[in-house]
Amino acid sequence: MPLLFRDQVLRIKAENAEQISILQSLETQEHLQLDFWLHPANPELPVDIRVPFSNVQAVKVLLESNNIQYSVLIDDVQAVLDEEQQELEVNQGRERLTKSFNFAAYHKLETIYEWMDTLVAQYPNLVSKINIGSTYEGRPMYVLKFSTGGNNRPAIWIDTGIHSREWVTQATGVWTANKIATEYGSDSSITTLLNSMDVFLLILANPDGYAFTHSNNRMWRKTRSKTSGSCIGVDPNRNWDAGFSGPGASNYACSDSYHGPFAESEVEVKNIVNFIKQHGQIKSFISVHSYSQLLMVPYGYTCNKPADYQELENVGKSAASALKSLYGTSYQVGNICDIIYPASGGSIDWSYNYGIKYSFAFELRDTGRYGFILPANQIIPTAQETWLALMHIMQYVQAHPY
């Protein structure tokens, strides 16, 4: 039997000095085994006593016969303790999970989803999880929202993992979510940012693809949608409504850069588009890919420069400088079409044309030694240096409202 099973805590309101002295004499009655949580001192203050179950009736009779007012504060101390203990264990479990989560390893989809829940549970006043819709195979697409309040504040959008084989990006997304949640309040730049802006982070932008890279093919890039014929999947970064089916995208279903039957045919893309449009206050749109160490701005579907090119290039160059300051990692900066290749139907071309001026695409480490299969011991350094670039961009966006 648990020690304090059905013990009660009584709160006593003594009216005068005489009642106080009665209560004080009770303290000397050792056989009653009374545990005074608040000792009798003067009539202004309540007296709280934990009374063992076996003596509850006797103590109550004693109080009543002396006209001493009391109420039952806790009618089963053990029950309260049990609940508390449970909560404590759950919190410790969550803390263990978030503290023991290995950021320097690549994790399966289910593990990342579980971890997201623990993060939300641990920082409920800062982090929430939004289901922006299902994938082709029926998996939820979860966006983490970081917000300190307000009503639909201007916001930053970051997505990682739209190409499922680019594993360092999802891992960077996880690390970044943790960074924001754990350092809000202590890191001044995060705190300042979240004072007036929200951050939306889609860690797994292509969950079906990610699951497939674990179960079947580490090099899978596309979605897993079945269109016609025997080949599966559409390149989700050729499927946006920006120069759709133009240069740099294939109309062959078996190609790794297949643009799909029509723009936004992929539900994963459509879900993001719907969310962005519905929100209406996204001020920056950042898509994270790997590999090549590039920080790019629109456009990919044409080599003509966007109207804001100079500003975007400047922001990009400073962000790349900040990134480089940590470990010396060099990034090239420029428009997609000139830096890497013409590529139509890309996400940041769409977001820029939609009106989100500060649209950027990252290609993270490395430059080809390991490529997609970047050693897990580079996840944290990559995330740390990328954070500096992201922070630079976010601070710039906050300082340049439009």
Quote the tokens at residue 307: 């109207």
Q: Which of 284, 257, 248 is nearest to 356 (CA)?
A: 284
The count of C-alpha atoms lying within 13 angstroms of the C-alpha of 372, restricted to the half-sphere facing its C-beta, is 13
Torsion angles phi and psi, residue 35, rounded to 5: -115, 100
Residue from 218, 226, 277, 400 binding another protein (CB under 8 A): 218
Tell me, yes or no, if 166 is annotated catalytic: no
What does the per-residue mask of binding to another protein show for 270-309, with x meaning CB under 8 A? ----------------------x-----------------
Nearer of residues 55 and 250 to another protein, judged by Cβ: 250
Q: Which residue carries 């970064």 as its tokens? A: 237
Q: Which of 166, 264, 268, 363 is catalytic?
A: 363
Nearest approach, Cβ of 391 to another protein (angstroms)?
A: 23
The answer to whether 302 and 337 have CB atoms below 8 angstroms apart is yes
Three-class secondary structure of residue 155 per DSSP: strand
Residues with Cβ within 8 Å of residue 290, at least 6 apart in sequence: 166, 167, 168, 169, 363, 364, 365, 372, 374
How far is it, in rounded angstroms, from Cα 288 to Cα 112?
A: 17
Residue from 330, 399, 401, 402 binding another protein (CB under 8 A): 330
Residue 50 CB burial class (10 angstroms; 0-12, 13-18, ≥19)? middle
Give start and end residues of each alpha helix (H) in 39-166.
Answer: 56-65, 77-100, 109-122
How far is it, in rounded angstroms, from Cα 251 to Cα 373?
A: 28
Asked whether position 327 contacts another protein by CB under 8 A, the answer is no
Nearer of residues 7 and 266 to another protein, judged by Cβ: 266
SS (H, E, C) 372-385: CCCCHHHHHHHHHH
Nearer of residues 354 and 372 to another protein, judged by Cβ: 372
Q: Binding to another protein (CB under 8 A): which residues in 225-244?
A: 235
Nearest approach, Cβ of 389 to another protein (angstroms)?
A: 17
Asked whether position 255 contacts another protein by CB under 8 A, the answer is yes
Nearer of residues 19 and 347 to another protein, judged by Cβ: 347
Residue from 368, 399, 401, 402 binding another protein (CB under 8 A): 368
Asked whether position 17 contacts another protein by CB under 8 A, the answer is no
Nearer of residues 70 and 106 to another protein, judged by Cβ: 106
Quote the tokens at residue 259: 């643009």
Nearer of residues 122 and 378 to another protein, judged by Cβ: 378
Number of C-beta neighbours around residue 33 at 10 A: 12
Nearest approach, Cβ of 316 to another protein (angstroms)?
A: 11
What does the per-residue mask of binding to another protein show for 97-116, with x meaning CB under 8 A? --------xx----------
How far is it, in rounded angstroms, from Cα 286 to Cα 356?
A: 10
Nearest approach, Cβ of 153 to another protein (angstroms)?
A: 36
The answer to whether 177 and 170 have CB atoms below 8 angstroms apart is no
How many residues lie near another protein (CB under 8 A)? 38
Of the candidate spans 13-21, 61-69, 216-224, 271-279, the one that interacts with another protein by CB under 8 A turns out to be: 216-224
Of the candidate spans 28-36, 239-247, 278-286, 374-382, the one that interacts with another protein by CB under 8 A turns out to be: 374-382
Long-range Cβ contacts of 251-259 (<8 Å, 24+ apart): 253/227, 253/228, 253/229, 254/229, 254/230, 256/221, 256/222, 257/343, 258/222, 258/231, 258/233, 258/234, 259/234, 259/235, 259/344, 259/345
Residue from 195, 215, 227, 314 binding another protein (CB under 8 A): 215
How far is it, in rounded angstroms, from Cα 112 to Cα 115?
A: 5
Q: Binding to another protein (CB under 8 A): which residues in 332-361?
A: 332-334, 338-341
Residue from 374, 390, 391, 397 binding another protein (CB under 8 A): 374
The answer to whether 9 and 73 have CB atoms below 8 angstroms apart is yes
DSSP string covering 127-154: EEEEEEEE-TTS-EEEEEEE--SSSS--
Residue from 367, 380, 381, 395 binding another protein (CB under 8 A): 367
Asked whether position 371 contacts another protein by CB under 8 A, the answer is yes
Of the candidate spans 19-27, 42-50, 255-263, 392-400, the one that interacts with another protein by CB under 8 A turns out to be: 255-263
Of the candidate spans 13-21, 74-82, 117-125, 372-380, the one that interacts with another protein by CB under 8 A turns out to be: 372-380
Positions annotated as catalytic residues are 363
Residues that bind another protein in the complex, under the rule CB under 8 A: 105-106, 213-221, 235, 250, 254-257, 292, 330, 332-334, 338-341, 367-378
